[in-house]
Amino acid sequence: MNDQKMAKEILASLGGADNVEQAWHCATRLRVIANDEERIDEEKVKQIDGVIGLVKQSGQNQIIIGNRVNAVYKAFQELLDQASGEGNSEKKESGKETHERTEKKGKRPNVISRMLSTLVGCITPLIPVLIAGGMGKCLILLLNMLGVLSDQSQTYQILFLIFDSAFFFLPVFVAISAAKQFKSNPYLAALLGAALLNPTFIEMIQSGQDIAFLGIPVVPFSYSSTIIPAIVAVWILSYVEKFFDKHLWSAIRGFMSPLLSILIVAPLTFVLIGPAMVAVSTQLTNVVFFLSDKLGFFSLAIFALIYPWIVTTGMHSALAIAGLEAINKKGVDPFTRALTLLHNITQASATLAIALRTKNKEFRGTAISASLTAFFAGITEPCLYGVTLKLKRPMYACMIGGFAGGLYAGIAGLKAYVFLTPGLFTLPMWIDPANSGDLSNLWNAIIAMGIAAVVTFVATLVIGFKDVPPSQEAAER
């Protein structure tokens, strides 16, 4: 099935364009918030050719598609845009009334769930930027280790600044993504993010002198690579924009609304929003290091034991944001990337064992393809929803393997230096850029992977599984 047809069937199963309040995607999932959950035909969604599964979490309908999700999302968004352009006021009002009805029924998620959902929604569209920046850093680090490219050469420095820009200018990218979430002007949002990184402000910080705006102290903090300050600033901007767009005289609205919005929100960000949200970001980082340091080496093993079930809910994305903050703040993530590594390897290993044991030739092909995708690229949804979760028992093997690998990783103090999805292609993420000659952490990552893979593989064969009949696999396709 082509992407356009798949998007059309998904939209129809969700109840049509007027039932879609918000839509975005992550690495493998199309995430949709609906106006009325009762209009969604869940079974029909699951039966669409190319859809691996459907997860409902935090008010989101997470349609698991896999590597095609970006193309499907583009086709899906085109359908929404067409419906928005062609729809009449009666249709739009109907959607609004449906939304209000759903809220009255108490079916909207709670505040915390919506906050997490919004946070994840602001970050997931940035995955291509993070992948490009992270993989690029890994590439030049590898070239430097092999003696192909000296870190003193201008070529190295130019390549580094290109890929490092993905993280240095992260507030700008986040602001643009947040603008889509909060239905604000993306260019005004980008201006807010850029103001935080202006070289003049950076020079003021480096001077060591006190900074003030209208006599109010400004905290001298570098906002490069930060996430939360830009999100909250754009959220407030969205309300300020709407206020001026609604109340200003139409003759001056076009130029006064943008001016007044930035004039209010930008200084507020420097004086209040930024410092407050930096404190929140710091706490997220502290959570990661607390789990790593205070709970001891058992923390990784315990979380690796339950992590497959965390992924099934889709809440692993929120945990990943804490890992990204840790790397941006302290240059290292001692927890979340290691957890993801163990999960990816155990899912790949269990699926490979199933591929070797199953007597269903068609299912074997599906399992092998899913396993290789997880091993090399670290994308596990095809394994999880297409194989292990479907068969149930292999999930227990993944838990056992994750626990075993987590014990070693915890004892060895495994840590990631680049924010990437762990897999064989991204092994350089475990090498310290400041000491590229020391490969001990990389070897710890490889050993942890080996332990998790072998234990999961054996456990899958020992525990066994109920094989998929050929007719069932054909019917599901």
Active-site residue numbers? 26
Phi-psi region of 251 (alpha: psi -120 to 50; beta: other; left: phi over 0): alpha
- Distance (Å, whole) CA 208 – CA 102: 53
- Distance (Å, whole) CA 389 – CA 410: 26
Neighbours of 447 (CB within 10 A): 15
Going by their DSSP bridges, the two strands 60-64 and 216-218 should be labelled as unpaired
**Cα–Cα distances in angstroms (integers) from residue 376 to residues 209, 369, 426, in the given order:** 49, 11, 8
Which residue in the block uniquely carries the two structure tokens 């987590």?
Answer: 406
